[in-house]
Structure 1
Amino acid sequence: MSRRRFLALAASSALVACGRVPDFSRFTRWGLPIQVYMPGMAEGHRLRQPDFPAPSAEISTHVLILGSGVAGLGAAWQLAKSSTEFLLIEGPEFGGNAAEGQLGGQPYPRGAHYLPLPSKESSHVRELLAEMGVIEHGALSDSPHFNEAVLVHSPEDRLYINGQWQDGVVPQHGISSAEAQQTERFFALTEQLKTSLGSDGKRLFAVPLVLSSLDKKWRALDSQSFADWLAAEQYTAPSLLWYLNYCCRDDYGSDLAHTSAWAGLHYFASRNGHAANASNGAVLTWPNGLYPLIKYMAEKIPAGQRQSGMAYHVSETKDGVEALIFNTKTGQTQRIKAKKVIMAMPLHVTQKLLPLAPYGFLPEHMPEHAPWLISNFLLDGFPAESSTEALAWDNVLYQGKGLGYVVASHQLIRAAKPAQTVFTAYHALSDLTPKAARQWLQHASSDELYELAASDLRHVYGWRWRQSIKSVEITLRGHAMATPSPGFLSNQGLAALRVQNGKVLFAHSDLSGLSIFEEALWWGCRAAKLAQGDSIS
């Protein structure tokens, strides 16, 4: 069973940076070179006390897009289909949570690394994939045909439990029959929910979230935590609770006790995509995660309509909007005037550029954002596996500190394994409060970061695996994703931003209250259509 959905990784951020020198390079106490990359931290802190130079130039455009993550590039991709004039300002990190990196010529993800088969509601995703040739035919059908090179290859995933590997990530080895029965009961329920309709005729759980049913009976689940709902439904099996907690950490950055029960079920019941040439639950992936989607959308932007820089002030004017943009390369500021602006950045950044109260969003409406640590290990060769085991694309430890590790070279079909590869390990710091976790990330030493980053890998391969490591890059994302805590569906501030249709438009997965690729792209495409004057129901 495929266990990951998309790390939410996936919305645009105006405060994160790709392709520049990491924030610091050091050595661990064993002499291992380690680069620590903190996208957007310095820029974000500068916004608290802005001291930028006065504008030295002024330009005009019709639509200004601020942010080059999934939402921002999605808006640009949509606008590029029309004659609408626009300008995209990248922000410090091109690609945001879907950025890539490279070590030893091997590309790898610095965040989001896969995409589930899109359901019919995610028509915007299917449109993008069809343009790219990922969907080869039948984009509007129940089961499109996908490019085999992008469908994750076997073995897809495995779980290290009780000292050995098993296929799939749902615990099976050493599990009692009573626990197995609870697991079967839970998945029978979620399988039924995938096609269940609410009183309004809509699917109970859909992606994008705004297309889900408003049936009050089911929306009431949002008033309690997933942990409380599971207890009330008599789901007590330790192995099942571990798996469900793991899924919440993986997709939301939070544990069962801090995740809405509605969001917990949405994780399993909303994804209902099928493929003519793959099993249900298959995922799409590339060696560098979802970066090829970012690259494709960026390539559709006409020459001269994309530039580097970070916005630090946005305001409405009589004729439209005005934004001040600082170019970190030149050290100069320019003023950009536009008829409309698309704020394609996380809300905790947006609020520093533009007062949100006039749009109905108050400080108490800010969703909590979970911090993440993504670690990439360049390896000379592959760690030794048991003669009976095969390295999978996704490798997870039962009750491990992290969320497992994926293999960047897995999708490369070769007669023999490459000489080098990259293992990407993921950690959601859900054992701390988000604020405490951010403080730890900011002040942790190289050795402390490495110890956490390598914890799952060391447990599986022992200390000798370190001999294969050539270098390490650790990416710290302090505000990686919005977490859907109980009550997130009734967040009035988010509801107010979602319906804005004036000079300022908002486009980010934060508007959904949870952070996945489909949500970010949905809001980017929607904002672009509104900016063009299209009517949207």
Structure 2
Amino acid sequence: MQRRRFLGLGAAAGMAATLPACRQLEHLGIPISVLRPGMAAGHRLRDAAPLPPATREIRTGVAILGSGIAGLTAAWRLARAGHADFLLLDGPEPDGNAAAGTQDGVSHPRGAHYLPLPSLESRVVREILHEMGVIEDAPFAARPRYAETLLVHEPDERLLFEGEWREGLLPTAHVGDDEAAQHHRFMDEMARLQDARGADGQRAFAVPLALSSADPAWRALDAQTFSHWLTAQDYTAPSLLAWLDYVCRDEYGAGPERVSAWFGLHYFASRGGHAANARDGSVLTWPDGLAPLARHLRASLAPGRQLAGTAWRIEESPHGVSILASDADGAFRILADRAICAMPMHVSARIVPDMQARGFDPARHAPPQSPWLVANFLLDGFPAEAGDVPLAWDNVIHGSPGLGWVVATHQWLRAARPPRTVFTTYRALADRSPAEARRWLESASAASLYEMASEELRRVYGGPTLWRLSRAVEITLRGHGMACPVPGTLSNPGLHALRQAKGRLLFAHADLSGYSVFEEAAHWGDQAARKILAG
């Protein structure tokens, strides 16, 4: 299964107001909204704009700064442990990359939209899912039972390959014998790696990453790119390489030529989740992506534990942590005994003035961030499908620069299709440098963004059909959408230093793992909360 997990999902709603811009595309007449979470506040930090003076103070035992999955998990853990003296500062985009929207009664994701079956190591994720009722029985067994309504329904995925839709995303049955043999060899090798262990007894590849083996023999893979490893292993089949390019862009926002070989293999070899009532490789999904998980974590918080606002500066002293923040009423200061900075590393580096003294040099240690574009097309009905393979939840075009689209109403339990649906398209801007991609996103017109967001849908259904069915389009731009694990990520000393922080200021974000998925964000949020609880 290959899906867009860029949640990281762990992103804290750290820095940026969502700036909606709604206009008609003059040449099409389709209402389009452009959301830019991260841009305005992020640029204010980048440009070192003067900070406003605080006009009031708030005191608390613990301040959690950022309400992405890491911040929400930290708050959830503290609340479950009965620790009542804490505040969660939302940030400009509550829920971060797990945020969602609704158009005409159809909910849809604005970021991450599915969760793999969690492995045995992902205990905190299993704990959350069991509390939600998603895991119905045996939450910590090898094969828990999951709610049938949330396991992805069939048909779950299809691939447009050589002009025809095929089931699945790797076209093994539709290529020559030599290519098919490479497909099978690769998949057999990945299956062996799932059981591989290092000299320390740990799984070579695990989720969360922190529980993977530290054996240097395995970690040496992080010194090379995934492309280099594939070449060395004599994987040359064009269809296989195109699929792996899609996997890396889908998971990490960059192609195999940039991604660490260890992480390229980790995607396949770390899959350890199984279910009593679903086949291996199944995923959990909701119409609005991972937003229900964020809502559940947030619902555990007592009234008054959440604050709207954005943090601008964090200073630690022997006596506590001082946070300058602002909301619609102006600037204020939070004085806390301890704080958890649950924001992306490139944001933390601008808000915490002494990061280098903490062992983190932003110029050398901040993981590169891959830009993303997510677009939601509200459609009046469903376009006609060509061929015998029906519309699936996940629809991918082989060799395309885009990452396909998912159908928000796929999980709806109805006897007939609903009158309206939302198709969500994903695009990692991996065909240019991250800096160049961010510059383009900043200046691109609504028409240019629409052209990119709709490219695959127009290719499959035709521009006139898409225009006729489209009632509205919402485009979300994420200039720093997810961390990209380049070679050297595992040995990054700055990330290691922040993971080991034990002072009054702690850090929690998927960036600490070097890549962005829900499980990593939840792990680091849980770890930070446990440090608080340990005293």
For the criterion TM > 0.5, the same-fold answer is yes
Matched, 1:201 2:201: yes
Instruction: Name the stretch that deviates more: 275-284 or 208-217.
Output: 208-217
Question: Which of these residues, 29, 32, 45, is aligned with residue 31 of structure 1?
Answer: 29
Q: What is the rounded CA distance, in whole Å, between the counterparts of 1:67 and 1:499 in structure 2?
A: 20
2:67 counterpart SS class: coil
Check conservation: 1:16, 1:96, Cα contact below 8 A. no
Report if the CA contact (8 A) 1:166-1:172 is conserved.
Answer: no
Q: What is the aligned partner in structure 1 of residue 502 from structure 2?
A: 501
Shift of 1:30: 1.6
Asked if structure 1 preserves the Cα contact closer than 8 Å seen for 2:15 and 2:347, the reply is no
**Alignment partner of 1:360 is 2:359:** yes
Looking at structure 1, the residues matched to 185 and 365 of structure 2 have their Cα atoms a distance apart, in angstroms, of: 36
Listed as ranges, the gaps of 5+ residues in structure 1 are none
Alignment RMSD = 1.3
Q: Secondary structure at the match of 1:440?
A: helix
Quote the residue 1:406 is aligned against.
406
Looking at structure 1, the residues matched to 157 and 419 of structure 2 have their Cα atoms a distance apart, in angstroms, of 22
Structure 2 letter corresponding to 1:207: V
Shift of 1:445: 1.1
Which residue of structure 1 aligns with residue 532 of structure 2?
A: 531
1:310 equivalent in structure 2 = 310
CA distance in structure 1 between the aligned counterparts of 2:342 and 2:23, rounded to whole angstroms: 31
Name the amino acid aligned to 2:302.
P
Shift of 1:447: 1.3
Contact 2:172 2:183 in 1 (8 A): no
Query: Is residue 71–residue 507 contact of structure 1 (8 Å, CA) maintained in 2?
Result: yes
Deviation at 1:468, TM superposition (A): 0.4
CA offsets per residue over residues 277-328 of structure 1, 9 Å max, x none?
A: 000000000000000000000011111010100000110123111001100x
Output the CA distance in 2 between the equivalents of 1:456 and 1:15: 31
1:50 aligns with 49
| TM-score, normalization by structure 1 | 0.97
Contact residue 100 and residue 110 of structure 2 kept, 8 A: yes
CA distance in 1, matches of 2:86, 2:113: 29
Matches within 5 A, 1:504-519: 504-519=505-520
Q: Measure how far apart 1:465 and its partner are.
A: 2.5
- Contact persistence 2:381–2:421 (CA under 8 A): yes
State the AA in 2 paired with 1:361: F
> Could you tell me which amino acid in structure 2 is paired with residue 94 of structure 1?
P
Residue of structure 2 in register with 1:251 after alignment = 251
Pairs within 5 Å for 1:438-517: 438-463=438-463, 464-517=465-518
How far did 1:15 drift?
3.6
Which residues of 2 match residues 114-129 of structure 1 at below 5 A? 114-129=114-129
Tell me by how many angstroms 1:461 deviates.
Answer: 0.9
Q: 1:165-223 deviations in whole A, cap 9, x for unaligned? A: 11101123541110110010001011111111111100000000010001111110111
**Pair 1:45–1:17, CA change in 2 (3 A):** closer
Cα shift at 1:107: 0.6
**Post-superposition shift, 1:253?**
0.3
SS for the counterpart of 1:56 is: coil
- CA distance in structure 2 between the aligned counterparts of 1:59 and 1:338, rounded to whole angstroms: 8
Q: Are the equivalent residues in 1 in contact too, given 2:22–2:31 (CA < 8 A)? A: no
Equivalent AA in structure 1 for residue 293 of structure 2: L
The CA deviation at 1:252 is: 0.3
Contact 2:167/2:389 (8 A) holds in 1? no
Indicate conservation of the 8 Å contact 1:5/1:115, yes or no: no
The alpha-carbon deviation at position 117 of structure 1 amounts to 0.3
The correspondence of residues 125-274 of structure 1 with structure 2, limited to 5 A, is 125-172=125-172, 174-274=174-274
SS in 2 for 1:6: coil
C-alpha displacement of 1:51 = 3.1
Give 5+ residue unaligned stretches, structure 2: none
Contact 1:68 1:94 in 2 (8 A): yes
Does structure 2 retain, via aligned residues, the 8 Å contact 1:28–1:446?
no
Whether the 8 Å CA contact 2:8–2:521 is kept in 1: the answer is no
The answer as to whether partners of 1:401 and 1:455 remain within 8 angstroms in 2 is no
Instruction: Report SS of the residue matched to 1:205.
Output: coil
In structure 1, the residue matched to 2:294 is: 294
Offset, 1:52: 3.9
Partner of 1:342: 340
Query: 4+ residue runs of structure 1 moved beyond 6 angstroms?
Result: none
Where 1:337 maps in the other structure, the secondary structure is strand
Whole-Å Cα distance in 2 between the matches of residues 147 and 23 of structure 1?
38
> Can you list the C-alpha shifts for 1:360-390, whole angstroms capped at 9, x where unaligned?
0002111100000000000000000136231
Residue type matched to 2:496 in 1?
Answer: A
Please show how residues 59-70 of structure 1 align to structure 2 within 5 Å: 59-70=58-69
Quote the sequence identity (%): 51
Give the superposition deviation at 1:333.
Answer: 1.0
Kept in 1, the 8 Å contact 2:393–2:410? The answer is yes
Cα distance in 2 for partners of 1:343, 1:366 equals 15
Q: In structure 2, what is the Cα distance between the partners aligned to 1:325 and 1:28?
A: 40
